[in-house]
Structure 1
């Protein structure tokens, strides 16, 4: 494993400062559990985790934080942001937490978290419905969900629809409400999903769990398996669910499985 100590470009040309939204929920009693930092995918804000998973993690005894990348949610605007800026956001927020954190990235932000692992010594990481991109993955998604992938390939804003993100079990009113809150990532960051180098190896050897659904219309099962193999494991799958596991009708099962896994690695 090779870890870069000096990153000359990042020292010389750091990402521009940005206001970051961070939502916080902590248990009423002190706990030894590691803090969780939830990082929502492109188009989503911290609200996507605050809906269910944030408070549920607290009920299970984990301090929990949900952030919005720059240009997302209630964070400051940043129309020209790139993946490096998003990685900077994650590492800066994680470094400001009281203890070594578990990073939980969703969708394209699973790639952002994977890149952040080369800069921040996380306690562990969870990649939820990971969109790792690359040309092959982009064309696979183009075949599965053309209205999602085509805009990113040609530099237009992503416009995922309710049917791309949720199962039919989620009430239409809820799906419409969530879809109405979706924002947009920068065109530059979207294009970088197609044309980017593989993430560097993590600092240290943090355990990494990949979670997804075989019925995800954005990320295919083969892609989930490939990402999990990269980290020496197999994906934990939840059939019948959509891309947004944290918002779908069966949201409780995945987060409980994630927290159970964290309990085991801390033993």
Structure 2
């Protein structure tokens, strides 16, 4: 335990955790899905949760504090989210695989340094830095500029999804995104280097070269930190778990987990 976490531990909060259990026995370790900023467990419950259980993996999706059905926490910071993930993972019956999306991938990367995961998967990882901020500012100035001054970052459906997703679905998903605490949002301005993972678990980086939030260079940078190359799905948007071709990346992730066992 780090000294600051011992002297000033994150405050307890109610945590929303959704689950799906395999029908015909477990074939793999539990998989814990961690959504990015503004998203919640519902983003994985739409498709990936049941699909993962159907492949024989007990599946769980959590909401970070202040998101979804988890307790409110307007002053949340990155370390609070990391604490939530480590606590939920430790409560699962077996050593879990941690799957994080967007800024949730950064949370998972930090949690891997605290929890001995079976494996880690970083989906469209947002590790912050000026490149991320400037890229979003260039593509969506009106929605991004308020975030630089503590306001809300608003992402357009066209930044999150491909044109293959029906417009009404894209709009409904985008409307469900929640406001992110200013302190947690500001922490993404500075690029975060992932800490060494406990036990050196295998880590897979997944993304799309057509992501309008995460650049190809950022995907490559994160993948290199873990000694590999990103697994790419051209033609998909940032929210791979909700996009029109959602099944392709989750099947690839589960195939990789089966080979990694």
TM over 0.5: yes
Structure-1 separation of matches of 2:141 and 2:215: 13
CA distance in 2, matches of 1:128, 1:153: 24
Superposed CA RMSD in Å reads 1.3
Q: Secondary structure of the equivalent of 2:44?
A: helix
Secondary structure of residue in 1 paired with 2:99: strand
User: Counterpart in 1 of 2:80?
Assistant: 85
Q: What is residue 56 of structure 2 aligned with on the other side?
A: 61
Aligned to 2:92: 97
Task: Tell me by how many angstroms 1:184 deviates.
Answer: 1.8
Corresponding position: 1:14 with 2:9: yes
Verify the 8 A CA contact 1:145 1:218 in the aligned structure 2.
Answer: no
Counterpart-to-counterpart distance in 2, 1:175 and 1:91? 31
Name the counterpart of 2:122: 127
Q: Give the superposition deviation at 1:196.
A: 5.8
Structure 1 length-normalised TM: 0.94
1:155 to 2:166 alignment: no
Deviations 1:109-141 (A, max 9, x none): 100100111100111011011000022332233
Query: Residue 136 of structure 1 aligns with which residue?
Result: 131
Match of 1:178 in 2: 173
Superimposed CA distance per residue, residues 42-71 of structure 1 (whole angstroms, 9 cap, x where no aligned partner): 111100000000000011110000000000
Alpha-carbon contact 2:161-2:236 (below 8 Å) kept: yes
Contact 2:23/2:54 (CA < 8 Å) preserved in 1? no
Residue 148 of structure 1 and its aligned partner are, at CA, apart by: 4.9
1:154-233 mapped onto 2 (5 Å cutoff): 154-195=149-190, 197-233=192-228
- Please say if residues 160 and 212 of structure 2, whose CA atoms lie closer than 8 Å, have aligned partners that are also in contact: yes
Gaps of 5+ in 2: none
Asked if the contact 2:127–2:191 (Cα under 8 Å) also holds between the matched residues in 1, the reply is no
* Number of equivalences: 261
Q: Evaluate the alpha carbon distance shift between residue 220 and residue 197 of structure 1 in structure 2; reply closer, same or farther with a 3 A threshold.
A: closer
Question: Please, which runs of 5 or more residues in structure 1 have no aligned partner?
Answer: 1-5
Q: After alignment, is 40-49 or 127-136 more displaced?
A: 127-136
Superposed displacement of residue 161, structure 1? 1.6
Tell me, in whole angstroms, the C-alpha distance in 2 between the residues paired with 1:216 and 1:130. 11
- Superposition deviation, residue 171 in structure 1: 0.4
State the SS of the aligned residue for 1:259. helix
The TM-score, its normalising length taken from structure 2, stands at 0.96
Alignment counterpart, residue 235 of structure 1, candidates 227, 230, 233: 230
Deviations 1:69-102 (A, max 9, x none): 0000111111000000000010000000010100
CA distance in 1: counterparts of 2:117 and 2:46, whole angstroms:
24
> Aligned partners of 1:163, 1:42: CA distance in 2, in Å?
17
- Equivalent residue of 2:61, what SS? strand
Paired with 1:126 and 1:192, the residues of 2 have a C-alpha distance of 21
Give the Cα–Cα distance (whole angstroms) in 2 for the partners of residues 120 and 18 of structure 1. Answer: 19
* C-alpha separation in 1, matches of 2:125 and 2:146: 19
